[in-house]
Amino acid sequence: MQKKLDSLLAAAGIALPDQQKHQLIGYVELLHKWNKAYNLTSVRDPMQMLVRHIMDSIVVNEHLQGSRFIDVGTGPGLPGIPLAIVRPDSHFTLLDSLGKRVRFLRQVQHELGLKNIEPVQSRVEEFEPEPPFDGVISRAFASLQDMLSWCHHLPQKGQGRFYALKGVRPDDELNVLPEGITLENVIKLQVPELDGERHLVILTAN
């Protein structure tokens, strides 16, 4: 798995210290092990997890601004855990409403020694951020409208951002953004060995 990760990182032009690589592989191993009982992801092959979960998450890192983030609907910790591993000076709140996922996240936190994540079991609309976040990240929402509606209270007013990981560029959704939301950027992401398009939509709340 180490060779595969090294080749993917090289293809993406990402350089990481050995400790971070070991943590990423450790996370995939835990995900693969727990997936058999907990059904955390439809991806069964650890090599595919490296592409579709690890690389798909960390290519976003260079576009994030700030140090306090919340990953909403994190599931088994995606993209929050890979981002927390490659961004050790930032803090990530990992929010999910399902207890089994949060138990898995706490096990990952314990086994990998991740001090910069906080798994939280809560519905997003009931979660009170204190203080608000620099960035709200999600790849779980069906639409930007849902994300903005349910997460409007999470980012800092005026400078917090929404980061939505999407497949094809969601032009239909971008054409009907609610009042008070500004489109900052749509970035086409390059994920080695991944079929299909990936885009990062960055929005700000005025």
Closest Cα to residue 54, out of 7, 116, 101, 113?
7
Distance of CA 44 to the CA centre of its chain: 19
197 labelled ligand-binding:
no
193 labelled ligand-binding:
no
73 labelled ligand-binding:
yes
**Cα–Cα distance measured from residue 76 to residue 102, given in angstroms and rounded to the nearest whole number:** 8
Handedness of CA 164, 5, 33, 48 (dihedral sign): positive
Contact predicate 80/92, CB 8 Å: yes
Structure tokens at 189: 């992401």
Angle between helices 18-38 and 99-112 (to 10 degrees): 150
Residues comprising the chain, all counted:
206
**Cα–Cα distance measured from residue 157 to residue 80, given in angstroms and rounded to the nearest whole number:** 22
Q: Which residues are annotated as a binding site?
A: 73, 78, 124-125, 139
Residue ranges of the annotated binding site for S-adenosyl-L-methionine are: 73, 78, 124-125, 139
